[in-house]
Structure formats: structure tokens, C-alpha cells
Structure 1
Amino acid sequence: MTIESTRGRRGRLDQEAVLQAAEALVDRDGYDALTMTSLAAELEARVSSLYNHVANLEDLRALVQVRAMRMLGEHVRAAAMGHAGLDGLRALSRELRVFARTHPQRYAALTRPPIDREGFYAAALEAIEALAVMVRSAGLPEERLLQTAMALFASLHGFVSLEVAGYFGDLSGTSAGLLDLDEVYEQVIDGAVSAAVLEASH
């Protein structure tokens, strides 16, 4: 739902409409631009009316984080369908990048320190379980699952966060062809997956 269509709900706001408008604002202006005042302006509503649906700004930002994490989980779980082991790890890795490039501001929000840790980690279960299934099916012992999953995510996030932040800039897509970011990311995936395999062999 766009901010414009959300405005049509003026006078009959509910929490879902408020959160969808907040997400649209984050998508456009970034997570740090989300305030009660800016959201009220987007909804053409009074700031006081927003408190009927969220407790405060911290609660609002926490909900945006939780929903973004849940959305990522749905995406990676769908990507994992029909895959297992190393093939599954590669599929999940590629989907993480797709999600970050499609929703860069929400991805940035969910990689901030969680405000509502309990709610955030509950929302993360889908993504964690999808990753754990792939790591487990690659032969990794149960006691090494979490550590290896975190190492995989850290490797992938390093590239993805730099890309969506524009760090690579003019190094890609130029006539000089200095960088093919797709190939670079495949190298990152290969390195992360190879490390997981090495861990499993130990």
C-alpha cells in the first residue's frame, strides 16, 4: 500500500494502516526519518491519534523492525523450498541479496540493534530455521548450527550492506567493466558455504 492510498483511510485509522504508512515512509526516506510527527503528516492525521495504535516512537520503530524481519523470513523460507544442503544455502544467500536490494531501507532497519528483542527474535525464527535446515542438511553437527549460521549471515551481510549503501559506486556497470557485482557476490557465497562445509568436516 502506498502512502497516498493510506491517506484515504483518514478518520478510520487502525494499527495496520499506521504501520503500512510507516513502512512506506521508511522505504522512501529511511528508518531514521520515521518520527511520530513525520508519520502523522503522511497520514494527514494528528500526532495524538497515532497513540491509539502505537505506544510511542520506540514501539513504532520496533514494530517496523519486527515486520521487516518477518518479511525476510518469509522470503528466505520460500527460496529454500525444494532445496537442501549446499544448494539450499546458495539459494538462501541469493534471496538475502534480492530482499536487501528490493527493500534497502527495511533491510537496514532490521540489521540495527533490535528494540523489541523478544518480538524480533520470534519474527526471525522462520529465517533462522530455514538456514538451520540447510546447514544441518550439509552435514553440520547440531551443536555447531548457530555459530555457523551466524558466520554465514555475517559474511553475506558484509557484501549486501555495502552494496545497498552504494559503497561500490562506479566500480560496477561501467564501460570499463571493473566489477561484476553478481560474480563478486557468488564468490562471497562460495567462500561462506565452503567455510560451512569445512566446519562440517571437522
Structure 2
Amino acid sequence: MPRVGLTRAAVTAVAVDVVDEGGTAGFDTLTLAAVAGRAGVAVPSLYKHVASLGDLRRLVATESVAELTRTLAAATIGRAGPDAIRAAADAMRDFARRQPGRYAATQVAADRSDPADDELSARSAETLAVLAGVLRGFGLPDDELVDAVRMLRSAIHGFVTLELGGGFGLPDDLDRSYAVLVDGVIAGVERLAATSPAP
């Protein structure tokens, strides 16, 4: 019988804790043995709740993406224009710095051809919808809205990845450089909107 209190959701929660403790590499190094040890069960007991390590990783990614979406939505509600972009960028950066393992899990792209990825795909779509809402106020057509979302995500992800990995070796103020980056993203979105054909 499954251990009392151990459910699929509980196993996921334990795995998320393990990922968090592993820092930036926590998601990549996640193992069933680590989760079983934390849960106080033998590895075979986990198979009553998850099908495989891949299944568990998918659950962690799905939960992490959902949490990032909630964070972004809370940060950007009621905001528009450049203020909304700054709030979204700050929320992503803060999420990554507070929970680097979970942040890494949010970078898993769902396989739309795999039904097992349906929930991850749905949660990812919700994240993109929040970011699209942040950028929609600039009047971008749908095809360029995708470009703007990708630009925002790529810029913040690149900065955060370098920051967490110790890739900025110079003593200059990181927050100032980050602010310059976000201003550049805003200028890029505004330029994209200015050159877009009128709807």
C-alpha cells in the first residue's frame, strides 16, 4: 500500500523542495532516490505515484511554471506600458534569484505532440498569456507580439543565467546594468510597435 499521506501531489511537493535545495543545478540533478530519501520511503514506493523520473520532472516543471505565472500576474496586475514590462522583468529576476532550481524547471518546453505534456503545455500557455497581456498595450499585432515576448524572455533569462552563474566578473553595479537592459527591451518593444503596420 502507498504510505499514508504520500500522494502524487505530495511527491511533487517533495521533489520541488529537493530541486530548490539544489540551486541552479537542482532540476538537472533531480533523482528519484533523493526524493524517496526526503519522503522517507524506498524508491519503488514512488512508482505508486509517478511513472518515472521523466514523469516527476514534468510534474516539477508544471508546478514551477504555474508558480511563475502567479508571480508574474500578481506583479503586473493594473500596470501598463513600460511600467508593466519593468514589473514583469523584476518578477522573473526575483523568482529566479529566490528559487533558482524552480526557475530552471520553468525553462522546459512542453512537447505538444505528447499527451503527457498537455498540462505543462496549458500552464506554459498561461505564462505566455500574462506576458502577452503586458505587451499588448503597445499595440503590436499578434505575430509581432510573439517576437516581443521572446525578446523579453530571452533578455531577462540571459541576464539571470549569467548573474546566477557568476558570469559577471566586473565590480560594476549589476542592478544598474540590469536596469539598462530592461530599458533596452522597452525601447525595442516601442520601436517594434512604431514600425508595425496599423491594424
TM-score (norm 2): 0.87
Q: Output the aligned Cα RMSD.
A: 1.8
Q: Percent identity?
A: 38
* Paired letter, 2:167: Y
Does the CA-based 8 Å contact 1:69-1:124 persist in structure 2? yes
CA distance in 2, matches of 1:114, 1:139: 28
TM-score (norm 1): 0.86
CA distance in 1, matches of 2:133, 2:87: 13
Deviation at 1:198, TM superposition (A): 0.3
* Paired letter, 1:94: D
Deviation at 1:47, TM superposition (A): 1.2
Instruction: Find the partner of 2:63 among 48, 64, 67.
Output: 67
Deviation at 1:191, TM superposition (A): 0.7
CA distance in 1, matches of 2:74, 2:54: 30
* Paired letter, 2:189: A
Residue 196 of structure 1 pairs with residue 189 of structure 2: yes
- Give the unaligned 5+ runs of structure 2: none
- Give the unaligned 5+ runs of structure 1: 1-9, 172-177
CA distance in 2, matches of 1:50, 1:156: 36
- Aligned residues between the structures: 187
* Other structure's SS at 2:41 match: coil
* Paired letter, 2:131: L
- Could you tell me which residue of structure 2 aligns to residue 184 of structure 1? 177
* Paired letter, 2:15: A
* Other structure's SS at 1:111 match: coil
Residue 16 of structure 1 pairs with residue 9 of structure 2: yes
Does the CA-based 8 Å contact 2:76-2:87 persist in structure 1? yes
* Other structure's SS at 2:28 match: helix
* Paired letter, 1:74: R
